[in-house]
Amino acid sequence: MVPVEWPIATASEGGGPDPARACGRARLRTARVDFSLDPRARLMEQERALMAGMLTDLVNSVADDFRALLADAEPANDDGQELVDQLRSSGLLDIPELVRLLLSRAEEERLATAIRSARGPGKPRFLQSLVSDDDGAVAAAAMALILARGRRRDRFDGPRIIFDDLSAEMAVALVNAVAAALRSDLAKRLPAEEADERLTSAARVVLARHDEGNRLEVRLFDLTHALDSAGRLDEKALLHALEEGEASLFAEILARRAGIGFDDAWDYLGAGAGNLALLLRMSGIARSLAGEIVARIADVAGSDAETEIAAFDSLADDDVAKVRAWLRLAPEYRSAIDALASGNGKRTV
């Protein structure tokens, strides 16, 4: 997707306030927030475009499910971008888990593209080679992941998020938001009470189709588990995943070796400031391989090789063990402790 430049509004025919000046005043609050943001934490244009594209595609797919179920009284609002804009302006798409998922997929795409562009031609395909593996569990898990990946690419080979990728809580929030957005058009064709009944009934059907067990993260976990059960979750597998630009599989393998969750491993992978080194230490990676990993991805992951290698060498074993033990606690428990600690001006780890 390409960012769209919005034209400046022209003055109204009847005179009155200059629309462009009014627009400027209306934007002040947003401009103040945007201007004060840390440049290092702001979205790159590539990430913003990828996230916007994935969100529009996801919302439209859910809306299409509604339209199919309401075919005899189809809502007129079939403008996908208009529907997304309406939901965004109302704040209904500001779902923290959903934004995190969008950001994670955008970061993965950026990281994978950078790794693959630096890779020489003629490299063997890691996942494809696992499909014919002698271990049936490994072969089946690899095939399931390849098929799942295929469903998550659009016709331009861009990343997608499908409905099953959402958690149950995200799915409920998004489905009801889309239903509410379709209500006004449907109510023009039906009495309001009937429109509400039809939409809520359709929402239940859409949610009944949701299969959280079909999430892409589940497929990644299954393959990693199969490799681990076969005794092959070694540094060779990790290096192959990195060489192929399989960024999420790379993070999942590190997470498995460290005994922590995928989300935590992904956060440390791209956090910079020595966090990549900490993740490698928690995963028990040898220094020689750590040096190769750092050299390949430190820059694109938001850090620099010198900082990460220095951190890898200087981290004390006790400190690494403490962070690992903390990350093995339930995420909800850690979040609650962080919330309490921030109120007291203290830090947890």
Q: pLDDT (tens digit, 9 = 90+) per residue, 69-110?
A: 987 665 555 567 889 999 998 999 999 999 999 999 998 998
Q: What is the pTM of this model?
A: 0.82
Bridge partner list, 153: 159
Give me the pLDDT at residue 342, please. Answer: 67
The pair of structure tokens assigned to 37 is 């943001």
How far apart, in whole angstroms, are the C-alpha atoms of residue 64 and residue 85? 16
DSSP assignment string, 61-96: HHHHHHHHHTGGG--S---HHHHHHHHHHTTTT--H
**Where residue 32 falls among pLDDT bands split at 50, 70, 90?**
confident
Mean pLDDT across the chain: 84
Among 267, 312, 229, CA closest to 104: 267
Q: pLDDT (tens digit, 9 = 90+) per residue, 238-251?
A: 988 888 888 899 99
How far apart, in whole angstroms, are the C-alpha atoms of residue 314 and residue 290? 14
Which of these ranges, 2-11, 63-72, 189-198, has the smallest mean pLDDT?
A: 2-11
**Where residue 37 falls among pLDDT bands split at 50, 70, 90?**
confident
DSSP assignment string, 272-293: -TTHHHHHHHHTT--HHHHHHH
